[in-house]
Structures are given as C-alpha cells and as structure tokens.
Amino acid sequence: MFDRNALPKAVTVYEVGPRDGLQNESTVLPTILKAELIRRLVGTGISAIEVASFVRPDLVPALADAEGLLEELGPLLATHRMSALVPNQKGLDRAMKTGLREVAIFASATESFAKANLNNTVAGSLEAFRPVIQQAREAGFRVRGYISMCFGDPWEGKVSSSQVADVAEKLLEYGINELSLGDTIGVATPGDLIDLLDALDARGISRSLLAVHFHDTYGQALSNTLTALVEGITTVDSSIGGLGGCPFAKSATGNLATEDLVWQLHGLGISTGINFDALLETSQWLRDKTGLAVRSKTAIALMDNDGMVDTK
C-alpha cells in the first residue's frame, strides 16, 4: 500500500528548460527572450535554474550566447541559484568570468555515449573532469554532476547499476555537491530506479546528495518521480513545457514537464515554493511568444479553446 507518510514535506524543483530544454529545439531563441523566460521562471518561485552551457557554439548553436545571456540576467545571478554546464576546462574558464556561483559537469555511464557526447572514454572523461571540479570548488563554486544513460543506452541497451555506481563514486570523490541521475532516453521504470538506488546505497552514497532527471519517452517520468520521492529523493529535474531531448541521443524525447511535476507534487501536499498559476502563465507565454510547442499534459489540459489558462 502507498504510504504518504514516506513522502518528503518539500521538494526542490530544478528547472533545466533554459539549458537542457532549449538545446534540442529547432527554434533558436534570441538572448532577450531567453532572459525573459528565466525571469518569468524566477517569478513563479522556482528556486534552482540551469540557465546556460559553455559548449562550442558550432556543436549546440541554441546555447551559443552564454556570456550575453548571463550579462542580461545581471543581479539575478547573485540572488538566485543559477547554474551553467561546463564541458571542460575552457568552459569553466568562461564561466568563472561571469557572475555565476554554480556550474555543472556532464558524465556518461556508458562508453558509447561518452564517445558520442564527450569524444572520450568513460575513464578518460572522468579524469578530465577531476581538475575542472577541483578548480571550481577551490574558487567557491557549487558543482553539480550529471550522469547520463543511467538506465539504458541507444547503442548498448540496458545499463547495469554497478557501472553507474562506479561513475557516481568517482564524481563524489572529486568533490561534486550534488549528483543528478539521468534517464537520458526515458526507458527507466520504477523497478530500475530502485535497483540503482540500492546499488548506490551499497557504495555508501547518501540519497541526500542525489537528484533525478527523467525523460518521458515511455511515459514513465511521473511514476519514476513518485518512486524517487518515496525512496527519499528531494530534488527533481524538470523542463518548462516538457522541452528538450538530447542532440547526441536521437531516441531521447522531452524532459519531464515542470507543470506536470508541480501538479503531482502539490496534489500530494508536497511544498515546492512555486505558484502554480504563474507557472501555467509562463508556459502559455512560452508557447505564444516563441512558437515552441508545449508538451506538458497539465498545461494543455488547463488551456481552453482560446489558449487561455483556466485553473478553475
């Protein structure tokens, strides 16, 4: 029987739409619109937002304006938790010249994706991340770590929990503050998640250090989220409108939609600090102003025929 007493009282919604969401959309938003989206997300009460990525512009053109975007955000960088992805030392060097106080690195649990995304082996990429993490920490940055392909890989199939745990151990040893477990192609089930959490438990990795990052390819993102909550996870990644995918894994569809996540959390009586009506208004603004498709089932259900939000 489902035990509501096992649920956390509060959850941090970690919004990844401005980075992970937009990186795989065919529409490239102007910097001014990205900044407005982030300001609107802040206005909903979302407390953690990944806003940019310091990747090579030719690889991910949608995120080529990182410095300009951060300059546009200005004082918000000092008052809100915002982060940017740094794929290597050059990325960290760029990030350190901005007002950011948090960066993220992106590791892979599988050799195939490490080659496709990082042009390296799993071991080689982890070794390359070591000085980046350590330098960032020494400079006073908080460092978030992602592990992609935690449950399945389009080239290698099902991924063993032990190889994910191996990567997790290394990243935590190098000094990351938080580890997000990514279901990059959306194949995980609640049972797969429990197996992975058990494997991390066996390595002595505290669940207080973990976040979850689900894609909804097989429609399992919300059920996986509920399982994560029961298992003690209190940080969940999501993307406004369900935007996103992965440019290096074509079978990956959109992220768990923030609107759907917050609808579930509030329905369970879990505090998020987010104004749900403001979130829906932001979703509608995103669609109307940018032309991007909103894939959130909750947002779609709460819009009438004129496209106006109706929460009655």
Active site residues: 246
* Maximum alpha-carbon separation in the chain: 53
Q: Which residues on adjacent β-strands are paired with residue 214? A: 183
Task: Specify burial of residue 56 (Cβ count, 10 A radius: 0-12, 13-18, 19+).
Answer: middle
Question: Where would I find the H helices in 115-219?
Answer: 122-138, 161-174, 190-202
Within 139-275, where are the H helices?
A: 161-174, 190-202, 221-230, 258-267
Cα–Cα distance measured from residue 105 to residue 215, given in angstroms and rounded to the nearest whole number: 19
Reduce the DSSP state of residue 303 to 3 states and report it.
Answer: strand
| Angstrom distance (rounded) from CA 243 to CA 35 | 16
Relative to beta strand 210-214, strand 81-85 is: unpaired
Q: How far apart are CA 238 and CA 259, in angstroms?
A: 9
Number of other CB atoms surrounding residue 51 within 10 Å:
29
Closest CA to 146 of 184, 92, 112, 106: 106
Distance between CA atoms of residues 64 and 43, nearest Å: 25
